[in-house]
Each structure stands twice: as C-alpha cells, then as structure tokens.
Chain A
C-alpha cells in the first residue's frame, strides 16, 4: 500500500475495488479504480443471453427470426477475465470468452462453438498524472482496450464475433462513499471499429446454397460511443448489490437491419440495464450473479442476459 494512503483510505480502496470488481460485466468493462500493485482479480463466469425479439434499425420490436415466435437467439458462453495491478496506477486487463452461439429460423438450428474475441488492455489512473489529490475516495481512469479475434471463422452462421479488431478508450470517474460501503461511477468511451480482419478467417460460402455460413463481405462496422453508470452497496460486508446501466451508441444510426443469416449488425445502438448481487463467503472470493435487460435498442438483439460468476482476488507481489 503506498505511503500516502491512510489506513482508512486504503481500506476504502480495497473495498471499492472489490465491490466494483464484483460488478464487472463478464466481458471487459472499464472502471475508475486501478488495482493496487500486485493485486489481481480473476473471474470465471457463465453467460446466458436469450432473445425472441430484436430491435429493428428504427427501434421497433419484431421477432428475432421471421416466422419464429419463440426464443431464437441463444448465447451460452464462458468468460475468463483478469486484472493485475502492475503498479498502484496501472492495471493490466485481459479477457477471453469461449462462445457457444445458437440461432434458429423456421427450419434449422445453427450452432457455433469457438473462442471469441480476446480483450487486452490497461487501466491507467489519471489523478497522479494530472497532479490531482490522490486520495482514493474518488478516482479517474483511462481504460485502453483492444478486442482481437482469436482465429475463429467470421462467416460461420452464427459466428463467434465480428472478426475484426476493435480499439476502445474509456474514461471513467468513480466516487466512494466510505465509510459507507458504497460507490458510484460513470464513464464514457469511444470504440474504433477497424477493418483489420487478419485475426479471423472465412470459409468459402455461396449465398443461398451453403447453410453453415454467409458471404464474407468484411463490412465496415460503425464506430461507437460507449457509456456506463453503476453504483453499489455492501450489506454487512457479506452481500453486495449493484445497479447498472450501460450502452453502445453507433455514431451513425443504423439504416439497414440484420437477419438470422447474418446476425451481427454493422451498426447498432442499445442500452442495457440491470443489477448484480455478490456474496463473499471467504476472504477474497465472491460468487456473483448479474442480470441485464435491453430496454432500448436499434438494430440489436433484445436479449435478457444472465451471468453467473466466481471471482478471486489474489495478491501476487
């Protein structure tokens, strides 16, 4: 623990990073507080996203698949995610999903298993760099992240990801309410969606004939603003609950829809809202659940997302 951090403030920092870590979405999500030096956060979770409806390009709700009234989109994936405090101010981030994605139409069920896009990045606390008060009750961090395909087939129906590299810069500000075990944070980011398809590949596919794939058009995905807002509270240091709102907002509004045959929208906007609950049965370990709904969207799946996870916070050095 750095010398400038008082005992109380240090405890607050640990509490806050623990709380926020428990609220971390199964995929990488930017935060305000870097981990302390040598501290790691490791999370393994199972995600279940299900949808019977989609939001059309202009925000209407319709069946996800034509002439299928029940659930027709299923994402059952396992996520490994980790953070490591290199210093008190710099945290490495990495995540890797193993995706199992299923879509169906009136006649067929299409299923793909594959490692999805890996995420690597860093979180840098900005207050020291800006010469601001370094007390940890509030925090400001820049999160820089890359999303890199792991060699999956981008034109499988369905695919495990968009197949190209994304880069994101996310600024997040957080505030602890210590000695109350609660926090709130908000952030905004920009996601650059490149046309680098080097890290995925495509299989030969003929539209209308091949059933396991779609034509490899390598579209230009629209850049997005990302944003998030969340806050949480710990009851008796055993049970943590949080509420969250997060979203992706394509700079240009979508003008064309997507289909079961090519289910990854090139542009989309959505807001997800929900909450999480975590229980800390042992020191440094939590078991958590997160439930998210999609109350608003353009050109996106109207899914209900449930994540069940277990995380661990070892100290390596």
Chain B
C-alpha cells in the first residue's frame, strides 16, 4: 500500500507539474498564416458574363427566413402607390412594351458595399436594359408638393429608397435616372439578379438596386429607409471612389523583370480622373486608363449603350463604370509592394485608411508580390 501511495504521489507530482506548465506556458512559435491567390489574376473582362457575375443577397444576413423569390413574370405586378393620384399595377408586359419605345441600355458596374481589397469578387459590370421608372410615376401622377421619397420593396421584403429629387430634381448630365430593368447583358435577368424586374440606380452600391421589385411607395416621410440602412450603411449609397489591382494578385509570385499590372477603378460620384501607382512606397505616378475605343471593341453590345450613343453627355471614363488601367514596371528579385490610388473627376480621392464600412471600404489597396 505504501509503495502504491509513493508511486501515485510521484506520478501526480510529475503530472501536476505538466498540467501547470501546460496552463502557464503559452504555445507560440508554431503559428503561421498565409494568403494564397487562387486565380492567375488574368485580365478581368470589361463586361462580366452573367454566369460569373457575383450575387450577394444582402437580405440573407438580415431578414429572417429569407428565401430567394421565384417569380412568374406572367403574374408579377409592380404596385406604384402612396402619394399618387392613380395607383398603378404594372405588368411585366407593360414594361417590355415600354422598353420597345423608350428602352435604355445602361452600362453600370455593380459593386457590393462590402466588396474590398480584403473581400474581393463582389463587383462586376453589365449592360442593364430597362425603362425609366419616371415613365410609370408620371402615369400614376406623383403628388410632388408632398412627396419626399420613393420607397422600394422587393418580393423578399428587402427595402430601399431614393429622394424624389433624384427623379424630379435638376437633371445631372452623366447620370441616368433610375430604371426598371428586365435584361442583363442582353438576357432576361437571371433569378438571382432579380427576375423579372429590378431597380437600377446608376450611381449606387448593390443595395440601392432592389431586386425582385414589387412595390414603389411614394411617401412624405423624408427619413432614411432600407434594409441596409437599418444595419448602419449610408442612405445615399453612392459608390465611393475605389480601385483594385486584378493582376497580379496579392502574394503572387512573378518573374523578375518587366511585369504588367492591370486593374480597375470606379466611382459613383463621377467618372474616374486619374489612377496612380506607387511601387515599394515610392511616389505615386499616373498610369494609363484603357481608351474608350479599346474598351468598346471588347463586346458588340457596348455600342448600343446610352453612354456610347451619347458621348457628349457621357464623357469617358464613365461615371459608375469601372475604368480599366494598366501599368508596366521592372521588378528585381525579392518582395515588392504596389499601391493603387484613384481620384474621380469630382475630386474624391481614396484615403490612406478607412475603418468605416458604412459607406464601403475604399482605402488605398496595397498588393504584396514576390519577384523570383
């Protein structure tokens, strides 16, 4: 019995010491973290095919029991009500008929407000075909003396708004008025992009472009309204100036020597003015933005967009459409950093840092690459 007790005491001393040591000695030095690009960083096409166009259903994260609406265009109706003289119930065919008379093809980059250099891929550019919402608002007869805002509701209960002045205020030459859109890159809207009809707000982040639209309410309430606004995102939803390098991607390895870098910049406030690059912390120097001719040659349907048809009204680079840039530099073997800074024609410049996601993350991105 005594031998048993001593054996146990001895063991317990060892075990106890091990446990205490285990608790107080932090296990460090065995940690590593890596971020590896999955794609080659090949050039991003100017028009994003529908099949690879991102979809981010913001309501998924904020509306309980959210499901993607599956809507029959034959029975779908858009209600226009509130402060109107004649409430309307608009059919899909009504919009298609109107498109044949006053349809507009708008070239627009759709960017999710959480798209960033950190969370990439939530951005793409398409040709959106639709008719001005105003066409139907005029038919309903807006009570303009009282009306302050239009509230939009999707079939998934996602909501948003615009101020009435966005349609009935002073026109802005390079800004297309809000559209009721039925087609994307020449095809009917895919289900995940809002079939049969979504709103397109030319300058807006994704959340301003309500999908599966079912109701437009004209209201005297002048307060911000919307699903994302409830989560703290800015009410205006104008895409802040932003840029990205798409090739090479962060942590890519490239051959030492001359490398070509490509990327894009976009702003909802105006067209892009300049894009500048800083290599290894050096001074920023402007890079070449691809010409309108180069861009327009990439896809035949671009020639029929409102921007291409009205070059005086829509100077290039276009507002709310990504401007693709390219730049070549010579790199010696070793690690390098490349920073990109965009400035739009309204004078908005990407900040050095940005911790406020409420209007999107748009700090100057820095790409880390290694030349070998």
Q: Which residues of A contact B (CB under 8 A)?
A: 37-38, 56-60, 62, 66-67, 84, 86, 92, 94, 96, 98, 104-115, 118, 120, 148, 150-153, 156-157, 160, 199, 206-215, 256-257, 259-261, 316-317
The 8 A-B residue pairs with the shortest CB-CB distance, nearest first, are A208-B361, A151-B26, A106-B121, A208-B116, A114-B31, A150-B27, A317-B8, A115-B27
Write the B10-48 contact mask toward A (1 if CB under 8 angstroms, else 0).
011001000100110011101111111111000000000
Q: What are 28 A-to-B residue pairs whose CB atoms are below 8 Å?
A: A37-B8, A60-B67, A67-B55, A106-B38, A106-B54, A107-B120, A107-B249, A108-B35, A109-B37, A110-B36, A114-B30, A115-B31, A120-B23, A150-B27, A151-B28, A199-B26, A206-B353, A207-B116, A207-B354, A207-B361, A208-B354, A208-B362, A209-B363, A212-B33, A212-B35, A214-B118, A256-B62, A257-B61
Q: Is the Cβ of A120 less than 8 Å from the Cβ of B19?
A: yes
Q: Is the Cβ of B120 less than 8 Å from the Cβ of A106?
A: yes
CB-contacts of B290-327 with A (<8 A): none
| Bound CA–CA A150/B366 (angstroms) | 31
B119 interface contact, C-beta 8 A: yes
Among residues of A, the one whose C-beta sits closest to the C-beta of B39 is A107
Known: A96-B22, A115-B27, A256-B62. 19 other contacts (CB 8 A): A38-B8, A58-B65, A62-B60, A66-B55, A66-B121, A67-B121, A92-B19, A96-B27, A104-B38, A107-B38, A107-B120, A112-B34, A114-B30, A118-B22, A148-B23, A150-B26, A211-B117, A212-B33, A256-B61
B355 interface contact, C-beta 8 A: yes
Of the candidates A92, A112, A199, which one forms a contact with B31 in the assembled complex, judged by CB atoms under 8 Å apart? A112
| Bound CA–CA A114/B121 (angstroms) | 28
Of the candidates B19, B36, B64, B67, which one forms a contact with A108 in the assembled complex, judged by CB atoms under 8 Å apart? B36
CB-contacts of B239-295 with A (<8 A): 249-251
Question: Using Cβ atoms and an 8 Å threshold, which residues of chain A touch B31?
Answer: 112-115, 152-153, 156, 160
Among residues of A, the one whose C-beta sits closest to the C-beta of B14 is A316
B7 interface contact, C-beta 8 A: yes
| Bound CA–CA A156/B34 (angstroms) | 9
Write the B351-362 contact mask toward A (1 if CB under 8 angstroms, else 0).
001110100011
| Bound CA–CA A96/B22 (angstroms) | 9
| Bound CA–CA A106/B64 (angstroms) | 26
Q: Is the Cβ of B27 less than 8 Å from the Cβ of A151?
A: yes
Question: Using Cβ atoms and an 8 Å threshold, which residues of chain A touch B35?
Answer: 108-111, 157, 211-212
| Bound CA–CA A148/B37 (angstroms) | 33
Q: Is the Cβ of A66 less than 8 Å from the Cβ of B56?
A: yes
CB-contacts of B320-355 with A (<8 A): 353-355
| Bound CA–CA A115/B27 (angstroms) | 7
Of the candidates B32, B249, B353, which one forms a contact with A114 in the assembled complex, judged by CB atoms under 8 Å apart? B32
Q: Is the Cβ of A57 less than 8 Å from the Cβ of B61?
A: yes
Question: Using Cβ atoms and an 8 Å threshold, which residues of chain A touch B155?
Answer: none
Which bucket holds chain B's interface residue count? 35 or more
Question: Using Cβ atoms and an 8 Å threshold, which residues of chain A touch B60?
Answer: 56, 60, 62, 257
| Bound CA–CA A110/B119 (angstroms) | 12
B168 interface contact, C-beta 8 A: no
B237 interface contact, C-beta 8 A: no
Question: Using Cβ atoms and an 8 Å threshold, which residues of chain A touch B363?
Answer: 206, 208-209
Q: Is the Cβ of B66 less than 8 Å from the Cβ of A92?
A: no
Question: Using Cβ atoms and an 8 Å threshold, which residues of chain A touch B251?
Answer: 211
Question: Using Cβ atoms and an 8 Å threshold, which residues of chain B touch A157?
Answer: 33, 35
Question: Using Cβ atoms and an 8 Å threshold, which residues of chain A touch B353?
Answer: 206, 209
B88 interface contact, C-beta 8 A: no
Question: Using Cβ atoms and an 8 Å threshold, which residues of chain B touch A110?
Answer: 33-36
Q: Is the Cβ of B120 less than 8 Å from the Cβ of A109?
A: no
Whole-angstrom distance between the Cβ of A90 and the nearest chain B Cβ = 11
B133 interface contact, C-beta 8 A: no
Q: Is the Cβ of A86 less than 8 Å from the Cβ of B12?
A: yes
Question: Using Cβ atoms and an 8 Å threshold, which residues of chain B touch A60?
Answer: 60, 65-67
Among residues of B, the one whose C-beta sits closest to the C-beta of A257 is B61
Q: Is the Cβ of B122 less than 8 Å from the Cβ of A66?
A: yes
Whole-angstrom distance between the Cβ of A175 and the nearest chain B Cβ = 30
Among residues of B, the one whose C-beta sits closest to the C-beta of A152 is B31
CB-contacts of B36-91 with A (<8 A): 36-39, 54-56, 60-62, 64-67
Question: Using Cβ atoms and an 8 Å threshold, which residues of chain B touch A215?
Answer: 355
Of the candidates A108, A151, A207, A209, which one forms a contact with B37 in the assembled complex, judged by CB atoms under 8 Å apart? A108
Among residues of B, the one whose C-beta sits closest to the C-beta of A158 is B33
Q: Is the Cβ of A58 less than 8 Å from the Cβ of B66?
A: yes
| Bound CA–CA A151/B29 (angstroms) | 9
Among residues of A, the one whose C-beta sits closest to the C-beta of B36 is A109
B365 interface contact, C-beta 8 A: yes
| Bound CA–CA A256/B231 (angstroms) | 10
Q: Is the Cβ of A211 less than 8 Å from the Cβ of B19?
A: no
Question: Using Cβ atoms and an 8 Å threshold, which residues of chain A touch B4?
Answer: 317
Q: Is the Cβ of B33 less than 8 Å from the Cβ of A112?
A: yes
| Bound CA–CA A30/B267 (angstroms) | 55
Q: Is the Cβ of A317 less than 8 Å from the Cβ of B11?
A: yes
Question: Using Cβ atoms and an 8 Å threshold, which residues of chain B touch A152?
Answer: 28, 31
| Bound CA–CA A215/B353 (angstroms) | 13
| Bound CA–CA A25/B248 (angstroms) | 43
Q: Is the Cβ of A208 less than 8 Å from the Cβ of B61?
A: no
Q: Is the Cβ of A111 less than 8 Å from the Cβ of B33?
A: yes
Whole-angstrom distance between the Cβ of B192 and the nearest chain A Cβ = 10
Q: Is the Cβ of B54 less than 8 Å from the Cβ of A67?
A: yes
Question: Using Cβ atoms and an 8 Å threshold, which residues of chain A touch B27?
Answer: 96, 115, 118, 150-151
Query: With contacts A38-B8, A56-B61, A109-B38 known, is A211 near B26, CB below 8 A?
Result: no
| Bound CA–CA A16/B243 (angstroms) | 63
Among residues of B, the one whose C-beta sits closest to the C-beta of A206 is B353
Of the candidates B118, B122, B362, which one forms a contact with A210 in the assembled complex, judged by CB atoms under 8 Å apart? B118
Whole-angstrom distance between the Cβ of B117 and the nearest chain A Cβ = 6
Q: Is the Cβ of A105 less than 8 Å from the Cβ of B61?
A: no
Question: Using Cβ atoms and an 8 Å threshold, which residues of chain A touch B355?
Answer: 206-207, 215
Q: Is the Cβ of A58 less than 8 Å from the Cβ of B36?
A: no
Q: Is the Cβ of A58 less than 8 Å from the Cβ of B64?
A: yes
Whole-angstrom distance between the Cβ of B63 and the nearest chain A Cβ = 8
Of the candidates A92, A104, A112, which one forms a contact with B32 in the assembled complex, judged by CB atoms under 8 Å apart? A112
| Bound CA–CA A66/B38 (angstroms) | 15
| Bound CA–CA A213/B119 (angstroms) | 11
Among residues of B, the one whose C-beta sits closest to the C-beta of A215 is B355
Q: Which of B33, B362, B366 is packed against the most chain A CB atoms within 10 Å?
A: B33
